[in-house]
Amino acid sequence: MRFMSGLLQVVFFLAVVLASLVAAGLISNDLPWSDPPGMGTRLMTYLSTNVAETTSDSAFPELRPRSYAAPAALIFDVARRAAEALHWELSTVEPEAREIEAVVTTRVIKFKDDVTIWVEADGEERSTLFARSASRVGTVDLGANARHIMDLFETVDIIAPVTAIVDEEAAAEASQASPEAIPTEGDSLPATEDQSQE
């Protein structure tokens, strides 16, 4: 009986620890729980996948590609600066292909996630930004990969006007600042109709 009682206590303790880690991960990722497709679907997704990717038909508004009224080369440069401002480790930067590969360290457990960013031109003056984030370890990410993409988009929207209107040296200084330190009020490139509805 004592063995069974001790075993149950150990199992209970491990369950509490696991639940605490899951809760800490979900909370630290600061996810948009009240947005579509709803809290239940979001929770099931965050507890069953280790990949987040932008698609035009995503049920998650934050995982739809972002379109900008700006040339692809500019948005690619802004995306690179955004990744640097987020202190991501850039492993590959391909200006001709307009593709960036980066490594992000998760906030709670310090796992490594791989992020791919790419920009597609929609004519000369419009472009669309895409991203994919995947965990290297495990089958559950607790929404960390979605958070990486959200951080990227938010930082791009902050840095974009700075990069567009100031010289290279000033833009480089802005990109080295933390996202919180970069001015945000009213500072974003014109968004397309799709982006403005998100």
- Domains annotated on the chain, with CATH: 2-196 (3.30.310.80)
Q: What pTM did the predictor assign?
A: 0.72
pLDDT given for residue 6 in this prediction:
64
Residue 31's φ and ψ, nearest 5 degrees, are -90, 155
**Preceding amide of 61 cis, omega within 30:** no
- For residues 178 and 174, what is the distance between their CA atoms, to the nearest angstrom? 8
Q: Output the pLDDT for position 115.
A: 98
Burial annotation 183-196 (CB, 10 A radius, 16+ → b, else e): eeeeeebeeeeebe
27-84 residue pLDDT tens: 667 889 899 999 999 999 999 999 999 999 999 999 999 999 889 999 999 999 999 9
What is the model's pLDDT at position 193? 38
Taking CA atoms, 142 is separated from 18, 137, 148, in Å, by 12, 12, 12
Looking only at the bridges linking them, the beta strands covering 127-135 and 66-68 are: antiparallel
The per-residue pLDDT for range 155-196, each reduced to its tens digit, is 998 987 644 433 344 445 545 544 444 333 334 444 433 443
C-alpha closest to that of 39 among 56, 25, 20, 26? 26
